[in-house]
Structure formats: structure tokens, C-alpha cells
């Protein structure tokens, strides 16, 4: 699994629930999230991250956000926009609101990741649950 696989899974699986997801590549505005989505008139942005596992011995995980990414997410969230960080760590997905991007940039423990997550899911019917969380 990789971030590219995660990106493809998000796009194809959320489409099954009526959510249109488009990949974004924007060199003009550094920090722009990987994907935007739209459903029934609502829309938002998703920054995707992939890590194969949590650090050993419970250390903090840095999901891989760049400084420009957390600033973009923080500003968008502060303006009332809908934006998320969706990370796959091992086999588990975590969805965090953009307002937590700075904390994710600096690193979070697994316990803190769960505390601030809007939604988290493991194997099974996670895509339906994720679609519901984004709506």
C-alpha cells in the first residue's frame, strides 16, 4: 500500500456513495490538498497521508504534512471551509479536521490521534463510514 493507492481507493470507493473526488495538483498555491470532493452541493478538501505503521514504543507519529500544507489547512478551516487530513497508518484510517493540521505536523501519539480524530476505522465497511463522515 502507498499514498498513491490510498488516493485511488478514496476516489473510486467514495464514488460508490455519490461523492465525486478529484485529484488536485497546484504548483501556484503550495500546500493545496491532494483531493477535492463534492456531494449534493457540499464540498471539501482532503490531504492524504500514508504510513506503514506507528513508531515503536509509542512515540509520536509525524504523518508527513509539510509546513505549507498545515498552514493551508489551518487557514481554510479558520475561514469556515471544510478540509481534512485522511491518513492510513497500517490498516487503520484516521480522519482529522483541518484545524488539527499543525498538531499533526509536529507529531501525535496513537492515543492523541484517536482523541482528535473526527472518525477512525479499520478493516470492513470503512468506506461507507468514511463517506458518511465527509457528508
Domains and CATH numbers, the chain: 3-134 (3.40.1350.10)
Separation of first and last alpha carbons in the chain: 26
- The confidence score (pLDDT) of residue 53 equals 93
Residue 132 in grid coordinates: 458518511
- The confidence score (pLDDT) of residue 57 equals 82
Measured at the CA of 9, the angle between CA 105 and CA 13, to 5 degrees, comes to: 120
State the alpha helices, DSSP H only, in 79-125.
Answer: 101-106, 110-116
Name the least confident of 14-23, 54-63, 91-100, 123-132. Answer: 123-132
Is the model's pLDDT at 124 over the cut of 70? no
Residue 106 in grid coordinates: 509536529
Tell me the C-alpha distance between 74 and 76, whole Å: 6
Spatial contact of 63 and 103, defined as CB atoms under 8 Å apart: no
Of 103, 37, 38, the C-alpha closest to 65 is 103
Of 127, 29, 31, 121, the C-alpha closest to 83 is 31
Across the range 27-41, mean pLDDT stands at: 92
- How many residues in total does the chain contain? 135
- Rounded to the nearest 10 degrees, the angle between the axes of helix 3-15 and helix 126-134 is 80
Across the range 113-130, mean pLDDT stands at: 88
Amino acid at each position: 500500500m502507498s499514498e498513491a493507492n490510498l488516493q485511488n481507493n478514496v476516489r473510486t470507493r467514495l464514488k460508490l456513495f455519490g461523492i465525486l473526488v478529484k485529484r488536485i495538483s497546484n504548483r501556484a498555491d503550495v500546500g493545496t490538498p491532494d483531493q477535492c470532493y463534492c456531494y449534493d452541493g457540499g464540498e471539501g478538501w482532503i490531504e492524504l497521508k500514508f504510513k506503514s505503521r506507528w513508531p515503536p514504543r509509542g512515540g509520536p507519529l509525524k504523518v508527513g504534512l509539510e509546513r505549507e500544507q498545515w498552514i493551508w489547512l489551518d487557514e481554510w478551516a479558520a475561514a469556515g471551509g471544510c478540509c481534512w487530513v485522511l491518513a492510513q497508518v497500517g490498516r487503520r484510517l484516521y480522519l482529522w479536521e483541518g484545524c488539527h493540521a499543525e498538531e499533526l505536523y509536529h507529531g501525535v501519539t496513537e492515543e492523541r490521534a484517536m482523541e482528535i480524530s473526527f472518525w477512525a476505522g479499520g478493516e470492513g465497511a470503512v468506506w461507507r463510514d468514511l463517506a458518511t463522515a465527509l457528508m
